[in-house]
A and B are shown apart, each in its own frame.
Chain A
Amino acid sequence: DAGVIQSPRHEVTEMGQEVTLRCKPISGHNSLFWYRQTMMRGLELLIYFNNNVPIDDSGMPEDRFSAKMPNASFSTLKIQPSEPRDSAVYFCASSLRASGANVLTFGAGSRLTVL
């Protein structure tokens, strides 16, 4: 398996522009997570899906952020309009949710810079 695949790896955009980040989870995993990582705040959970259904989006900072998972093999995180404070590394992770430890496999991340 190729692991969790994220695109783009780097995105530089101007304030006010729409940004779309994409994620392909590991085949067979039933949970998908979007995290944001900054030096100040570390890894923050934005939203997670279970069987393609959003379960908890309480970490989404504001209405400018939205996430979708139209099928088991694809998810998007959209920021519209983007602001400089959104600059961070965004990680997608997937897991097979079951009893026992919820072991997450992370993608390589999408580094976003909003000018």
Chain B
Amino acid sequence: QKEVEQDPGPLSVPEGAIVSLNCTYSNSAFQYFMWYRQYSRKGPELLMYTYSSGNKEDGRFTAQVDKSSKYISLFIRDSQPSDSATYLCAMTISGYSTLTFGKGTMLLVSP
């Protein structure tokens, strides 16, 4: 079993839809959970991160962590064509540890 699993997609939705992107993981020691967005031919950029369990909201984006199920989610409300990108989850034990990345889910939002 890979340490972090993420469906590669592509996930195609119409503009305005609510998008749910998910990752599962196996290492219960992970404490910090991040979402990176990567546009085509660009480097990943941090969207948001959460510590331990719970929710975090930033504009149209909400990150959720369920440590009991080892499951994290990123919700995008009112999706826009500009949200079309690959979304990578990443997680780490502490600020002194390296990140473990999922392979990414490609999202396509059509106008």
Residue pair A102, B101 in contact (C-beta under 8 Å) = no
Distance in angstroms from B104 CB to nearest chain A CB is 6
- Quick one: given A33-B98, A97-B95, are A103 and B46 in contact (CB under 8 Å)? yes
Chain B, interface SS category: loop
The answer for the CA separation of A102 and B96 in the assembled complex, in Å, is 7
Interface residues of B in 93-111 (CB under 8 A from A): 94-99, 101-104
Task: Check if B61 is an interface residue, CB within 8 A of chain A.
Answer: no
Q: Which residues of B contact A104 (CB under 8 A)?
A: 44, 46, 99
Task: Check if A25 is an interface residue, CB within 8 A of chain B.
Answer: no
Number of cross-chain contacts by CB at 8 Å: 61
Task: Check if B43 is an interface residue, CB within 8 A of chain A.
Answer: yes
Distance in angstroms from B35 CB to nearest chain A CB is 12
- Quick one: given A101-B49, A108-B42, are A42 and B98 in contact (CB under 8 Å)? no
Distance in angstroms from A24 CB to nearest chain B CB is 14
Q: Which residues of B contact A4 (CB under 8 A)?
A: 43
